[in-house]
Every structure is written in C-alpha cells, then in structure tokens.
Structure 1
Amino acid sequence: MQRAILAPDLSLSRIVYGMWRLGDDENTSPEHVQAKIELCLEQGITSFDQADIYGGYTAEAILGEAVRAAPHLRDKMEIVTKCGIVAPVGRHSGARVKHYDTSAAHITASVDQSLTDMAIERIDLLLIHRPDPLMNHTETGAALDGLIASGKVRHVGVSNFRPHDFTLLQTAMRAPLVTNQIEISLLETSAFTNGDLAFLQERAVVPMAWSPLGGGALFKKRNKKLLKLMTRIGAQYEVDAAAVAVAWLLAHPAWIAPVMGTNSLSRIATLSDACKVTLSRQDWFELYTEATGAEVP
C-alpha cells in the first residue's frame, strides 16, 4: 500500500483505520481488537485513528488493553489521537456543558491520560480536535511544541480547522502542523471548492478525511443513481461501491488519507480494495457530477 509522507520521520498508510466506534462493538475484548488490528496490518494499513472522546472516553483504553495483551503490535502501528473536546460524559461527566479546551493544562493532561489508556510511550500524531473560539494560540502552540520536545508526541496537527485557524496556530509554533483531518466524501465535497484542500496542497500538508463514506449515508436510497454508478465502476475491478468511493478520494493529488471506521471483520478485510481501483479523469468527474447533482460550469 502507498504511504503518505507527513514528515521525514512519519508516514501514514494511505488508508487509515478509524477507531471511533471501537467501543460500540458487542465484543471489545483484547483478542477481538487484536484481530481487527492484524487484519489491517495484513493489508498494509498501519495507521490507526483515535481520539480521547471516542466511546465516551473509553475507546483509547479498549485499544490499550489490546496493546498490553499483544505488545509486539505497537512497533507496527502509527497511532493518531485527538484532544480538546470536553463532553459531560465519562471522566468529564461533571462538566455543565460540552465545550472545547485548548489550554496548555488540558492538552497536557489529555496526552498523559491517552498515553496511559493506550499503553504507549509516545503518540505518533496528536491533533487538536476542533477549532476553539477561545484558543490562545500562543499558549496552545507552546504546549504542542513542549509535548514534542518532551518526547510524548512525535508530530502534531489539527482536525476540522479552516485555513485561517490553521495559520493562526502555526504562527505560534516552532514545529509544523503536519495534517488537517477534515470531512471529505462524495456527499461532502465542499473542501474541493472552498479552499480547504488547495490550502493544504499548496503547503504539501497531507489531508486526512473523516467520514469518507458519509457515515453510511452514501448508500441510502436517496443516492440511488450515485450508488448505481459506483457499483458499475466497481464491477470493472471486482470491488464494491464503497471501494470506489474511497478510490475517488485517493485519486486526488493532495494525497488524501481516508479514515475508515467499521467494526465488521469482513469489512475490515476489504478496506484495501480501494487501492485496486484506478479512476480516469472522466470517471472522477462523472462521480463528482452525480454527487453534486450538476455538471461542472
């Protein structure tokens, strides 16, 4: 599988396994989680996406139990996690309202907890999960630089940031922000025209794409014509429609890294099918036209 280079000492597999729903599975045993990880590794999917808030602040610990049970897996993985959202559940159940916290104290405490929960000594990539309207960019930037200097974090990036949020934080940092994880799919195409992808591509910053299948909405009846088109293209490569939707993202020159989340072992086993698909320019635009409901101007 191809790899996306974020920094000289950090690359991600072009497809990333997302652990957002890890805690939703009926089976969260270390053995079952290990089976998911090994299925990914067999396909060259070595990058795993987490966040402290996933599963009501439980998903990182579920991963950690698997790492403790099979410590040999850690050296084969790049672990991405996020911080900055405080929701009134789990360890933050005392919060009166869901809010963002990008203070140095919160970021540092979140990283320490994530390291403990995931049973690792260093986070490969830490992301600020959402733009914080109260962010003191100088304080946040210094905290992120400090975490890198301490060895607790290898590299840092952001998630859901617009270009102006990205540049604001970057101006207060020594270390580069190496990614922005944003929503991109055939059902969420705004990044192609609102400047978000162009901004990252100009700076050679690799975008990560969350919800690349539109949270499953891509396969609803209302998208029947689009699904029929994806199925037709997929048949040429003996893959399903989902693989075509992911291949559509992989085809972009910005080197988008889609984050794929599923608890089904059978679905995990086919995540790399997208790499079998080579879309022509007209294929790409035919999908884009059907997705947006209008031909390009």
Structure 2
Amino acid sequence: MEKIALSPEVSLSRLVYGMWRLGDDENTSPAHVQAKIESCLAQGITTMDQADIYGGYTAEAILGAALRAAPALRDRIEIVTKCDIVAPAGRHAAARVKYYDTGAAHINASVEASLRDMATDRIDLLLIHRPDPLMDHHETGAALDALVASGKVRAVGVSNFRPWDVELLQSAMTAPLVTNQIELSLSAHAGFTNGDVAYHQRKGQPLMAWSPLAGGSLLSGADLRLRDALHRIGAEQGTDWSAVAVAWLLRHPARILPVMGTNSLERIGRLSDACRVEMDRQTWFELYTHAMGHEVP
C-alpha cells in the first residue's frame, strides 16, 4: 500500500485503521486486538489512529495491552493519537463539564498518559483534537515544539481545525503542523468547497478524513440514487459500496488518508479493497451529484 510522507520523520499508510470503537468490542483481549492489527498489516495498513478520549479514556490502554503482549508489533506500526478534550469520564470523571484544554500542563500530562497506556516510548503523530476557544497559541505552540524536540512525539498536527485556527497555532511554532484530521465523506463534503481542503492542498499537507462512511450511517441517510450508484459501481468492480465511498476520497488530488473504523475482523480484512476501485472523473462527479442532491452549477 502507498505510504504518504507527512514529514521527513513520519509517513503513514494511505488507509488508516481507526480505533475509536476499540473498547466497544465484546472482545478486547490482547490476542484479539493483535489479530486486528495483523489483518491491517497484511494489507499494508500500518497506521493506527487513537485519541486519549476514545472509549472514555480506555482505548489507548487496550492497544497498549496488545503491544505489551506482542512488543514486536510496535516497530511495524505508526501510532497517531490526540489530546485536549476533557470529558467527565475515566481519569477525568471529576470534571464538572466537558471542555478543551490546550495548556502546556494538560498536553504534557496527556502525552505521558498516552505513552504509558500504549506501552510505547514515542508517539508518531500527536494531534490537537479540537480547536480551543481559550487557546494561548504561544503556550500551546511551545509545548508542541518541546515534545517534538524531546523525541516523545515525532510530528504534530491538528484535528477539526479551520484554516485560520491552523494559521494561528502555526504562527507560534517552529515545528510544522503536518496534517489536519477533519470529517470528510459523501455525506460531509462541505470541505471540498469551503476552503478546508483547498487550504491544505495548496500547502502540500495531506489531510486525514474521519468518518469516511459517516460512522457507518452513510447508506441509511443517503439519497436513493446515491445508494444505487454505490452498489452498482461496487458490483461492477467486484467489491461493496463502502469501498467505493472510500475510493471517492482517495481519488481526490489532496492525498486524503481515510480513517477506517470497524471491530469486525471480516470487514477489517477488506479495508484495502478501496485502493483497487477505479474511479474516473465522471464517476466521481456522479457520486458527488447524488450526494449533493442536485447537479453542479
């Protein structure tokens, strides 16, 4: 599978395995998690996407248990994780309200917890999970720069930031912000016209796309014509509709990295089907037209 270079130090697989729901599986044993990772690796999917908040602050430790049981896996994967969301759960159960914290103390504490929980000595890519209205960009930028300099974090980026949020934080940093993980799919396509994708494409920064299948609800909320087109194209190319929907993102020249989340070993084994779907310009616009509900102007 193609690898996408985000920086001289960090390259990610074109498809990323998302561990948002890792703790929702009935089986969270190290052996079962290892089986998921091995299935990804067999397809060339080497990047695992985490966040401290996933699973109510439990998903990182579930991954860590698998890496402790099979330590050789760590050098075969890239770990992406995120911080700054504080929700009343897990280690933050005493919080009165859900909030964001981009202060240096919180970022450093989050990184130390992530390193410990995931049984690793470095995070390949750390993302600030959500824009913080109270962010002191000088403090946040200095904290991220220090983490990169320390080697605990190899590269840094953001998630759900708008272009002006990226510019603000980057203005106070030496290390580059190498990516932005945003929602992109056939049901969340505003980024292709509101400047989000164009901003990063102009800067040559690959984007990560969360919920490329709208959290699994893409078909249920889609126009009948979109559903029919996805099924038809999938059948024509010997795969299913989900591979076609992800291929729609892969077709874009911005070098989008879809983050694919599922607990089904059978579905994990088919994630790379999306890379084999051929999609010409008219097919891309056919799906886009149905997703919008009207033809382009």
Could you say which residue in structure 1 is the equivalent of 2:40? Answer: 40
Could you say which residue in structure 2 is the equivalent of 1:241? Answer: 241
| Cα shift readout 1:179-234 (whole Å, capped 9, x = no counterpart) | 00000000000000000000000001110000000111212165332111011111
Cα distance in 1 between the residues matched to 2:221 and 2:136 = 45
Could you say which residue in structure 2 is the equivalent of 1:184? Answer: 184
Could you say which residue in structure 2 is the equivalent of 1:84? Answer: 84
Letter in 1 for 2:118: M
Give the secondary structure class of the aligned counterpart of 2:73: helix
**What pairs with 1:104-253 in structure 2 (closer than 5 Å)?**
104-220=104-220, 222-253=222-253
**What pairs with 1:49-64 in structure 2 (closer than 5 Å)?**
49-64=49-64
Structure 2 alignment gaps of length 5 or more: none
Over the residues paired in the alignment, what is the CA RMSD in angstroms? 0.7
| Cα shift readout 1:4-30 (whole Å, capped 9, x = no counterpart) | 110112111110000000000000000
| Cα shift readout 1:247-280 (whole Å, capped 9, x = no counterpart) | 0000000000000000000000000000111100
Cα distance in 1 between the residues matched to 2:226 and 2:285 = 12
Cα distance in 2 between the residues matched to 1:13 and 1:174 = 26
- Report if aligned partners of 2:86, 2:98 keep a CA contact under 8 Å in 1: yes
Give the secondary structure class of the aligned counterpart of 2:96: coil
Give the secondary structure class of the aligned counterpart of 2:200: helix
Could you say which residue in structure 1 is the equivalent of 2:75? Answer: 75
| Cα shift readout 1:41-63 (whole Å, capped 9, x = no counterpart) | 00000000000000000000000
* Length-normalised TM-score, structure 2: 0.99
Could you say which residue in structure 2 is the equivalent of 1:4? Answer: 4
Give the secondary structure class of the aligned counterpart of 1:132: coil
Alignment CA distance shift 1:270-1:86 (3 Å): same
- Report if aligned partners of 2:87, 2:98 keep a CA contact under 8 Å in 1: yes
How many aligned residue pairs are there? 297
Cα distance in 1 between the residues matched to 2:223 and 2:52 = 33
Could you say which residue in structure 2 is the equivalent of 1:14? Answer: 14
Structure 1 alignment gaps of length 5 or more: none
Q: Identity across aligned pairs (percent)?
A: 70
Q: Is the deviation greater in 210-219 or in 193-202?
A: 210-219
- Report if aligned partners of 2:160, 2:180 keep a CA contact under 8 Å in 1: yes
Deviation at 1:236, TM superposition (A): 1.9
Could you say which residue in structure 1 is the equivalent of 2:95? Answer: 95
Alignment CA distance shift 1:199-1:221 (3 Å): closer
Give the secondary structure class of the aligned counterpart of 1:154: coil
Alignment CA distance shift 1:17-1:291 (3 Å): same
Letter in 2 for 1:248: W
Cα distance in 1 between the residues matched to 2:144 and 2:91 = 23
Give the secondary structure class of the aligned counterpart of 2:207: strand
* Length-normalised TM-score, structure 1: 0.99
